[in-house]
Structure 1
Amino acid sequence: MSIAPAFHPIGTPGVAWGAAERGQWLARQSRQRSYREDVVDAIDRLRTRFDVEDYGRLVYGEEAYPLYAVRSRDWHDERPVVLVTGGVHGYETSGVHGALRFLDLYAADYADRVNLLVVPCVSPWAYERIHRWNPDAIDPNRSFVEDSPAGESAALMRLVAPLQGRVRVHVDLHETTDSDESEFRPALAARDGKPFEPGEIPDGFYLVGDTANPQSDFQRAIIEAVAKVTHIAPADARGEIIGSPVVAPGVINYPLKPLGLCASITGARYTTTTEVYPDSPRATPEQCNEAQATAVRAAIDYALAHH
């Protein structure tokens, strides 16, 4: 669906932001929900069943955010590793709560078959502000690169570095929202001093595979499972979803590594980025969370069946 963007109030059209404009942007951000109450407390309730690792700490001004990863308690090195990440974009709510839902309801089904490493909320500051960026106006999901400028991305890469070559599945949980078009893409254009080109928000769930390693059957299996929970996004009139060609129902591909995207960090054989559409009149928050958890389950099931 098309969303009419509002005029972005910060900066001069055609001129990239400097420190003053970034400061103006930061001053407009306000805390709207609690990372501790929504995420940390939920992780604490899982401690009786999983190992919880404090893998870093983000300090922004007077605020500090501990970063948590949840691991299989019965970890065996001979088992394949499954990485699940949520909240790389903090405003994408079902990514966070879908990861927590998977841990609470479904992870036990895989206890003796895989080693699970789940990071429910990569970007806690942005989770609280319901925003895409971190306080430096940096998008963590374009920052999974060497010497990353985003603390969120750098911390996650340090966490998974010892697992390079051992991760079989990585599912990165995201959303595509109406605010992408009305707020975040206009802000990106303003930040970079570029013209804003309106796009179209797809109505439904879709996946982003890796152009260099598309794994089409894997992606198809996830789509088929999620279709039982919520509707799949159709291609637009150009045969695209968010400007990329649809290569199978509900599937597009991106060059993950060159774009610095989270799903590129392990080199896993099976990688995908989920995209739930929470603003659809046809989807509830419960459906969105379940769609994310279902995608993780389908990804693991496929990888185990095709070892």
Structure 2
Amino acid sequence: MAHTYPIGTPGQPWTHTERLQWLNHTKIKRSYSQQVLQKLDALHEQFDAVQYGALPIDSERYPLWAFKTRHWDSTKPIALITGGVHGYETSGVHGAIRFLENKASHYSSKFNIVVAPCVSPWGYETINRWNPNAIDPNRSFYVNSPSEECAYLLQFLSELEGEILLHVDLHETTDTDEQEFRPALAARDGKDYIPGSVPDGFYLVGDTELPQPEFQRHIIDAVKQVTHIAPADANGNIIGSPVVQHGVINYATKALFLCAGMTNAQYVTTTEVYPDSANATDEQCNAAQVAAVTSALEFVMGQHNL
């Protein structure tokens, strides 16, 4: 299906000129300071807060924060929670914050917990999937990454003492994926846009190389108490990938340089909430993210007698 995106020439990948045109077309739509940083300020007394970088587009406006449970013990496993890798995916950010506010301390005797609640603050403010350079951070977690969001986070994690055993990366799949972001991706890369569908409900993305089906099932069972699970489409797929069990698909997370593949954690999952569903509220979306994180922690505790 032909689709004309307002930037670029069909069939030709973007140059620096088109990327700059795209950047100039973006607008600030909400406040990282008011909606995120103010909430994080209240957590500085409870956790060790680490500013691990700042985005060069505006270093004062976009500091990058991570929060660590106190009394760090390198003999305990590390549980890593990331949100807002795609800044427009709102419940990823606010689910991570809510986990910090209400649940993280409960698990701190068993884990060293690290939460990076908003990896892409410019993307949060502009409600965007990409960073200012029209780069998708969630395809850019590798050494010498051109995405500052990824490079700063990778450096921070490399300095942690201990083994990362669990990583939960909090995401959303929204209607704008098909309305804006996938058409923009096709235009940027000089390809035709082929329409897809947006699944109605929560699902998980596991790692093709280390799928951990029981782990994924445990999370799905917990989340379905909060919100509905996305069904497979007529072809047995979700977003073009085969459903391997109810509400679960797998990606080659390391080969695709996804956030979920950036560590060697034994237990890894990416959550995907559908905030545009007629059957889900913002509250349910945030609660689903927290349920995914806590159920993941509970499963690992059971497997490792923690």
Deviates more, 1:41-50 or 1:164-173: 164-173
Match of 2:215 in 1: 218
Deviation at 1:161, TM superposition (A): 1.1
Match of 1:73 in 2: 70
Q: Deviations over 1:57-115 (max 9, x none)?
A: 11116864111000001221111100000000000000000000001011121121111
Matched length? 304
* Aligned residue identity for 1:256: T
- Confirm or deny: 8 A CA contact 2:69 2:105 kept in the other structure: no
Equivalent position to 1:255, from 247, 252, 257: 252
Aligned 1:191-202 pairs, distance under 5 A: 191-202=188-199
- Confirm or deny: 8 A CA contact 2:29 2:125 kept in the other structure: yes
- Confirm or deny: 8 A CA contact 1:165 1:266 kept in the other structure: no
- Confirm or deny: 8 A CA contact 1:221 1:298 kept in the other structure: yes
CA–CA distance in structure 2, aligned partners of residues 165 and 20 of structure 1? 44
- Confirm or deny: 8 A CA contact 1:5 1:183 kept in the other structure: no
Aligned 1:171-210 pairs, distance under 5 A: 171-210=168-207
Q: Deviations over 1:212-237 (max 9, x none)?
A: 00000000000000000000000000
* Aligned residue identity for 1:104: E
Partner of 2:62, secondary structure, is strand
- Confirm or deny: 8 A CA contact 1:165 1:267 kept in the other structure: no
* Aligned residue identity for 1:190: A
Tell me if 1:118 matches 2:121.
Answer: no
Aligned-residue CA RMSD (Å): 1.5
Partner of 1:109, secondary structure, is helix
CA–CA distance in structure 2, aligned partners of residues 273 and 153 of structure 1? 16
Equivalent position to 2:165, from 165, 168, 174: 168
Change in Cα spacing, 1:299 to 1:61, as seen in structure 2 (3 Å) is closer
Unaligned runs of 5+ in 2: none
Change in Cα spacing, 1:303 to 1:237, as seen in structure 2 (3 Å) is same
Match of 1:42 in 2: 39
Match of 2:22 in 1: 25
Partner of 1:59, secondary structure, is coil
Partner of 2:122, secondary structure, is helix
CA–CA distance in structure 2, aligned partners of residues 160 and 108 of structure 1? 20
Aligned 1:277-296 pairs, distance under 5 A: 277-296=274-293
- Confirm or deny: 8 A CA contact 2:75 2:162 kept in the other structure: no
Identity rate of aligned residues, in percent?
58
- Confirm or deny: 8 A CA contact 2:2 2:193 kept in the other structure: no
Match of 1:239 in 2: 236
Match of 1:105 in 2: 102
- Confirm or deny: 8 A CA contact 2:201 2:227 kept in the other structure: yes
Unaligned runs of 5+ in 1: none
CA–CA distance in structure 1, aligned partners of residues 157 and 217 of structure 2? 27
Change in Cα spacing, 1:288 to 1:301, as seen in structure 2 (3 Å) is same
Q: Deviations over 1:234-256 (max 9, x none)?
A: 00000000000000000000000
CA–CA distance in structure 1, aligned partners of residues 106 and 303 of structure 2? 18
Match of 2:143 in 1: 146
CA–CA distance in structure 2, aligned partners of residues 63 and 189 of structure 1? 33
Q: Which runs of 4+ in 1 moved over 6 A?
A: none
TM-score by structure 2 length?
0.97
Deviation at 1:24, TM superposition (A): 1.2
